[in-house]
Amino acid sequence: ILCCGWRGGGGLALDTLANNLNEDYRHRVSIHEAGHLLAGYLLGVMPQKYSLSSLEAYQAEKLLNVQAGTIFLDSSLQQLNKMTEESLQRFAIISLAGSAAEYVIFDKCEGGETDIVMLKSVLRAKKSDKAEIKRTNRWAALAAVSLLREQGETLERLAAAMRRRADIKECIHIIESTHQQPNN
């Protein structure tokens, strides 16, 4: 299970308030989570579920320290000591795909700090040094932006469906029916 999420600052109360009062905030969070979900799916990692707010995540997980996020099923990512180089690369791209989606749609990103921290933690656990962590972060960010660059329509449609609380099956249908093949 891989979980990536958006955190623009604030906990359960602030996130709930922002979600209820600010349409731009809801849109940005949905684009961020759509980025994780789309990148994961395009890289062959099946999404299991998502949430677009700390309150949704709290209601689903019954934990206070939760936030918006996307959960994937991938057995190659469940045990750190068995993670291959290929699965680590997928993990890195998916981890940074939320911020990449924000960049693609809004030309800047405001969320994703937790995703970066999670990726750095995994890389440290895999015994990467600071220089390797920095290289991997840069590479994964570039790879995520490259993967999502031509997916603006798919990102927007997926994010809109997620704001309507579409189930994973509908999200996958949207991806498969609107996703753009890369230009060669």
- Per residue in 123-159, pLDDT (tens digit) is 998 898 999 999 999 999 999 999 999 899 999 999 9
DSSP the chain: -EEEEE--S--HHHHHHHHHH-HHHHHHHHHHHHHHHHHHHHTT-EEEEEESSHHHHHHHH--SS--EEEEEE-GGGS-GGG--HHHHHHHHHHHHHHHHHHHHHHSS----HHHHHHHHHHHHHTT--HHHHHHHHHHHHHHHHHHHTT-HHHHHHHHHHHHTT--HHHHHHHHHHHPPPPP-
Q: What is the pLDDT of residues 82-136, one digit of tens each?
A: 788 898 999 999 999 999 999 999 999 888 888 898 899 999 988 989 999 999 9
At 6 the pLDDT is 46
- pTM for the complete prediction? 0.84
